Amino acid sequence: MKRKVGILISGRGSNMAALIAAARNPDYPAEIACVLSNRPAAPGLSLADKAGIATIGLDHNDHASRESFDEAMNAALIASGVDLVACAGFMRLMSDAFVNAWAGRMINIHPSILPLFKGVDTHDRALEAGMRVHGCSVHFTTPELDAGPIIAQAVVPVLPGDDAKTLAARVLTAEHRLYPAALGLVASDKAVLAGNRVRLEASIDEAQRLWSPDLE
Ligand code: GRF
């Protein structure tokens, strides 16, 4: 039985598109049940619609409080039969009650090697810090922003002459590979929340280790 995933977005939805593409593989352990956006005009929502996925536009401005919006979001996800939630550029803080209701069943992608550079402007901050490598992380969500247990990470080099735009593009390419892989691990119970860590049952291919600069 495939796990049913609800994807939460706010914008262009390129990670969402990567998850939808991965889920087209008959061997993938999850199917995308719906895509929900707090911005009904989000370009990602029309992308999902064109891909034949059920879409839900739920404007947070129509709700008097965060809690009331989150309750509506929760009801919509449950009505769609969702049992896993994947946040993909969902630019909205979520209430503790919502996050706790989905504990161990909701994941997020963040454009940095966590726990470095939580929050926004991660690429500028990585450059400012003189990082040689940068990357992205997929983690279980917890009430504290970008602080949940890490499922998987990908690393890219920071190259001479990079600016935030070129670096963001390199990280995004890694995101599009990492997120489907990480969701696949969770959907097949190969990555399981165990306290404040993630127990990983998948074997790690040593050839996939990344070094930058490559000195070998
Ligand atoms: C990505 O960089 C993701 O890591 C961050 O927001 C961005 C969303 O981009 N959380 P997209 O909408 O998936 O293209």
Residue 119 gets which letter from DSSP? Answer: S
Instruction: Yes or no: say if 135 and 114 are a contact pair by the CB < 8 Å rule.
Output: no
Span 38-54, pLDDT tens digits? 999 999 999 999 999 99
- Which band of pLDDT confidence, cut at 50, 70 and 90, is reported for residue 192? very high
User: Domains in the chain and their CATH numbers?
Assistant: 3-195 (3.40.50.170)
Tell me, what's the pLDDT at 201? 79
Check pLDDT > 90 for residue 202: no
Any atom of ligand 1 within 6 Å of the Cβ of 12: yes
DSSP secondary structure, 1-13, as one string? -PEEEEEEESS--
Question: What number does the ligand 1 atom closest to the CA of 14 have?
Answer: 14
For ligand 1, whether the C-beta of 70 sits within 6 Å is: no
> Does residue 75 register a pLDDT over 90?
yes
110 as an active site residue: the answer is yes
pLDDT in tens, 91-141: 999 999 999 999 999 999 999 999 999 999 999 999 999 999 999 999 999
Name which residue sits closest to atom 8 of ligand 1, judged by CA.
89
Buried b or exposed e, range 135-169, using 16+ CB within 10 angstroms: bbbbbbbbeeebebbbbbbbbbbbeeebeeeebbe
Q: Looking at residues 11-19, what average pLDDT do you find?
A: 98
208 pLDDT more than 60: no
Q: Ligand 1 centroid to 194 CA: how many Å? A: 26
**Is the Cβ atom of 110 under 6 angstroms away from ligand 1?**
yes
What is the number of other CB atoms lying within 10 angstroms of the CB of residue 189?
11
CA distance 138 to 113: 9
Among 110, 123, 139, 176, the one annotated catalytic:
110
**What pLDDT is recorded for position 216?**
60
